[in-house]
Structure 1
């Protein structure tokens, strides 16, 4: 009986010790929290509210039930969103914007109090659309392409300034996509066709002008040549014309003589039937 009572007492003691150790381990576990690399913690106290200090990396102590940690990722994260905006000349364009953002670490308690842990999803799309619409409205549709560096700079400066008001730091802002509406694309195509037609018309007009000038110069040359021939004929007679006629007849006769299928038979004794320099060798 004494042995049984001692065993029962030992088991009760062991159970109590185990319960105490379990309770202690539970309290110790609830009193510790870990902040990983690239993160920061904001502590909410049930009596004092959000504490103004930001907790860095490592394992830290807190009061169970009274305090609760909220973990923030402070590494740079990408965000992409699209917006359809109207230009100065009332054309609709679609733009895609990529941002690299991170929270301002000393301002994490303020961010948590005013925006919560999903602050970037609440703020960045709204200010991004606002800035894009405001900047795009300052340019015509074609200027968005010809002055794209200036457009990007204006969007970046405006977004950095607006994000700073919410304690968000933007490391990079870039316009990744720009697309016009179907009406503008059709208008651009028609404009290009009209420009090509205008260039073709200008070319035809220029060619016609060149041909007109060439015809005038040719006519002036022929008129001057005829005048010179007329003056020479009046001064020296028609001998030069007869000589040229004889030379032309000689060239024609030489060409005919080299053609085997052509024969010339003189008829009568008329002097105009005579061929000069005719090659009579049989072929």
Structure 2
């Protein structure tokens, strides 16, 4: 008696690139807690679809990506301290991309893009960073105040030197006899009188040498 034929059914895989965000909490080289979210754009290798289905199943991404991402991030982050994670973020990203691409390739998964989208630290380290920033700002403010005081001091010295030089020049100009000083005082007094007359409404200026009607002799 012949056996019934095995019924075959199609298995459909989506080979388009799809995004996935994977959060991982791990520790830095200096034992600081680091929370990272990695964004991955992945797709299966079309030529290996039968092997993927046989070894991993249709949910291959759920079985593989979280575990290898956690593994790679823990290994890479452990090479840097918390401060270096901030200042050398591009270096960290490059190491993660290289290591994760190699691990995913072993499972016939292609990674088109890998990026760090979220990076935070523990409360103690965050507080320490904030305090350091505050201290730096205070130091900058203190340095600015010192520089401003120095500039004001220099300006006062220059102004005093200028006034002293001007006084010496005036003293030489008026001469030792004092006649020049008398003339200078006359000029200053004339300027003061002219200013007061200019501000009075009842003063009329006439050209020099001309007589007014009031000054004419009466018939």
Q: What does 1:1-283 align with in structure 2 at a 5 Å threshold?
A: 27-28=4-5, 31-38=6-13, 78-99=19-40, 100-102=42-44, 105=48, 108=51, 112=55, 120-165=61-106, 167-172=107-112, 173-232=114-173, 235-260=175-200
Larger Rg: 1 or 2?
1
Structure 2 Cα separation of the partners of residues 136 and 201 of structure 1: 37
Unaligned runs of 5+ in 1: 1-23, 39-72, 262-283
Are residues 75 and 36 of structure 1, via their aligned partners in 2, closer, same or farther at CA, if it must alter by over 3 Å? farther
- Could you say what secondary structure the match of 2:35 adopts? strand
TM-score, normalization by structure 1: 0.56
Higher relative contact order (CA 8 A, sep 6+): 2
Are residues 255 and 79 of structure 1, via their aligned partners in 2, closer, same or farther at CA, if it must alter by over 3 Å? closer
Count, aligned residues: 197
8 Å CA contact 2:33–2:122 kept in 1: the answer is: yes
Unaligned runs of 5+ in 2: 202-219
Structure 1 Cα separation of the partners of residues 110 and 164 of structure 2: 82
TM-score, normalization by structure 2: 0.70
Structure 1 Cα separation of the partners of residues 81 and 192 of structure 2: 73
8 Å CA contact 1:95–1:177 kept in 2: the answer is: yes
- Could you say what secondary structure the match of 2:82 adopts? coil
Structure 2 Cα separation of the partners of residues 252 and 200 of structure 1: 48
More strand by share: 1
RMSD: 3.5
Structure 1 Cα separation of the partners of residues 82 and 44 of structure 2: 33
